[in-house]
Structure 1
Amino acid sequence: MKNPKLITSGSLILDIKSLYFYFFGLLFMGMLKTICYKSDANKALHLLEFEALFNQTQLKNDSHNITGFLVKRNDVFFQVLEGNPIIIDTVYEDIKKDYRHTNITEFLNTSIPHLSFKTFDIGYSVIKDIDTLYSLQQFVTNLNHQKHENSPLFLEIIEALLSDH
């Protein structure tokens, strides 16, 4: 086997990490976790690298049933991840090692009873424009009116991002 990370069988190729997520994820069915952080974007990155990051994030999070969103405003990333605790922790560890993020500040890292952002833009969203950021603000405002846990924190951060507009 040339690549120890891949198992091949005919046309089936399975990534060991994906298998790990799947099998251990089954153990934690019903348990959910959220992580909320901000980081500074690496100033050496170009527009195409940001687009690649956004596309990779969307694909990876969708494939692992992660809900939440990623916002880049000026040179700051703000992200909320929700889902299976093992998957969320693994993704966050990868983010902390990623050269595209610096000065990571963690706001929230806790168990949650249900997903807050499952219905926002069909699961996971990469927010690249001001109109979508306003839509997110409205969504979180509605969560806040429903006394949804953590919504005051999310709303405060989103409003700070909008004030930079």
Structure 2
Amino acid sequence: MLKTICYISDSREYESLENVKKIYTKAKQNNLKLNITGILIYQNGNFLQVLEGHEEQVDKTYEKIRNDSRHRNIIKVINNTIEQRIFEDYNFGFSIIKSSQEFNELNDYLNWLKHADNKIANKVILMVENFIGIIS
């Protein structure tokens, strides 16, 4: 069974560019190994991440993140089973959003997805759009 979790959190410290790159690299490696797709956005001390994949893998990954000392004030905003992945076709399955150009590309992808009749997808899209609107 496929599942998606979307969470937002505060970074315990304002991460340097070097630390953020390390976090992104490790997250992408780990998620690819576990066949987890999604996105990770970091801006001004805040994370938003969407994880999607097999239920057991997504739950384990989220638990690991919850226990990661770099996060505080973690709020799980979406926790649902899904019929299909939303971000599977976006940038080879897992994407790190770091620049305004990448935000624009993500916005284009989200607008394309809105035409799908999928309530969970639309809920995830709304969360990401709201986060992007706050930080862009």
Q: Given the alignment of the two structures, is residue 64 of structure 1 paired with residue 64 of structure 2, yes or no?
A: no
Shift of 1:76: 1.1
Contact kept? 1:64, 1:87, Cα under 8 Å: yes
| Pair 1:156-2:126 in alignment | yes
8 Å CA contact 1:45, 1:100 repeated in 2: no
Structure 2: tracts of 5 or more residues without a match: none
Q: For the residues of structure 2 that align with 1:66 and 1:111, how far apart are their CA atoms?
A: 14
- 2:21 corresponds to: 51
Residue 115 of structure 1: SS of its match in structure 2? coil
Cα displacement string for residues 59-94 of structure 1 (whole angstroms, at most 9, x for unaligned residues): 000111111010112221000000011111110000
Amino acid across the alignment from 2:8: K
Please tell me whether residue 118 in structure 1 is matched to residue 88 in structure 2.
yes
**Residues in 2 aligned to 1:59 and 1:66: alpha-carbon distance in whole angstroms:** 10
Matches within 5 A, 1:1-165: 31-163=1-133, 164-165=135-136
Residue 18 of structure 1 corresponds to none
Using CA pairs below 8 Å that are at least 6 residues apart, which structure has the higher relative contact order?
2
Aligned-residue offset at 1:48: 1.8
- Aligned partners of 1:78, 1:45: CA distance in 2, in Å? 14
Unaligned runs of 5+ in 1: 1-30
Shift of 1:137: 1.7
**What's the C-alpha RMSD, in Å, of the aligned pairs?**
1.5
Paired positions, count: 135
1:25-64 deviation line (CA, Å, top 9, x unaligned): xxxxxx1011011111122533222111110001000111
| C-alpha displacement of 1:158 | 2.8
Kept in 1, the 8 Å contact 2:14–2:45? The answer is no
Distance 2:51 2:37 in 1: 6
* CA displacement 1:4-39 (0-9 Å, x = unmatched): xxxxxxxxxxxxxxxxxxxxxxxxxxx101101111
Local SS of the residue matching 2:92: coil
**TM-score, normalized by length of structure 1?**
0.76
Question: TM-score, length-normalised on structure 2?
Answer: 0.91
